[in-house]
Amino acid sequence: MLQVHQIKDNYETVLSGLAKRNFPNAENILQQVLEIDQKRRDTQLERDQLQAESNSISKKIGQYMQQGKKEDADKIKLRTGEIKGLIKDLETRYSIAEEELKQLLYTIPNIPHSSVPAGKTPEDNQVVLENGNIPQLYEGRLPHWDLIKKYDIIDFDLGVKIAGAGFPVYKGKGARLQRALINFFLNEAAQQGYMEVQPPILVNEESGYATGQLPDKEGQMYLATADNLYLIPTAEVPITNLYRDVILSQSDFPIKNVGFTPCFRREAGSWGAHVRGLNRLHQFDKVEIVQITHPDKSYEALEDMSLYVQSLLQKLGLPYRVLRLCGGDMGFTSALTYDMEVYSAAQERWLEVSSVSNFETYQSNRLKLRFKGEEKKTTTLAHTLNGSALALPRIVASILENNQTEKGIRMPEVLIPYLGFEWID
């Protein structure tokens, strides 16, 4: 979340950034933040003044007692009792203001980086680059939801029987393709210096708040109500929370983690042809990369992460493009996001397969994730970043559709050592 001093010291910048996001009632909410913060500060000042008075009276009581002036000491003791009651009341008021301020700050999204374009919808996103040639398929080409039936590699009906819509069952070469992609992505990340971790796939409420999934995406997460634990929507949540309440040293940077997990999203309200088949699921597999960096290095790290994700798409032989998301299409916690989309030749449309984002200090402020500088006298908030590298469903859909022939589906050469076969036929 934003820090109060950010709002106070850069009011106009914050206001214009929220306007770029089309955030409603921004000025009114910012004014509420400043008013509550001032009330909190005034309460703290009054409490400190009373505590100073109490300390002074205690010293006088000691002096009177030493001088044998018990009667004078008893008189001013009455004031100390009164002060204790006032301090207790002020501490309660301070706690209420603190919580009110925190809950209000939770509702304010991150401020976009200066390079983020204004806009309201995905149509306003900027195409940064395109790479690769769109394959020319044979006349009888099929979308992936027909290919998986033809070759019996993914079964949606079995998933409905076991769990419900959006929970496919991968079979035979379909299951092996999933496993091959996961291992390929993890091995590639390891070669780029990412340390692999295997985190829990259930997180507590505090972890959800720390990375910004709560309260923003509460309705999109599955909740195990008996234990008040959430199924993760992405490995970003547990991996980033490894560093909650941690003070790092400047020499620790950059911290680079990668993890494979299943991901769970309710996707409430999603329907239509654009979410058919593997295009949108309630459960899917994803390999996630997370970096924690020095603030001076985070945008350099973001560009490196973008290039890394692009290298995976290049090795898979998939045509792709990179988008810089506009203010209205960016995630709540992000300061700058690049989306990577691959072209589905059978569906004749672009499919998002990765988002790479810099959150600057937005998450680390919630996480209380700080580092000590070279002088080690003060601590500073670190910057956090994450990206999909990669989400599997639409990658699988694009591989199946773009590599289909009349003979069968040719597998990308880079995956063959992981698969043990060259064709799905």
Q: Which residues are annotated as a binding site?
A: 234, 265-267, 288, 352-355, 386
Backbone φ and ψ of 30, nearest 5°: -65, -40
Instruction: Please give the single-letter amino acid code of residue 351.
Output: L
Helix residue spans in 212-297 (DSSP H): 236-241
Q: How many CB atoms lie within 10 A of CB 157?
A: 10
SS3 assignment, position 343: strand
Backbone φ and ψ of 128, nearest 5°: -85, -45
The span from the CA of 381 to the CA of 253, in Å, is 13
The span from the CA of 351 to the CA of 280, in Å, is 10
DSSP state, 295? Answer: G
Q: Which residues are annotated as a binding site for L-serine?
A: 234, 265, 288, 386
Q: To which H or E segment does residue 208 belong? A: helix 205-211
SS3 assignment, position 315: helix
In the block, residue with structure tokens 């401020």? 111
Backbone φ and ψ of 2, nearest 5°: -70, 150
* Contacting residues for 310 by C-beta, under 8 A, at least 6 apart: 131, 320, 322, 340
- State whether the Cα torsion 271-272-277-278 is positive or negative: negative
Q: Which residues are annotated as a binding site for ATP?
A: 265-267, 352-355
Q: Which two tokens stand for residue 239?
A: 């991996």
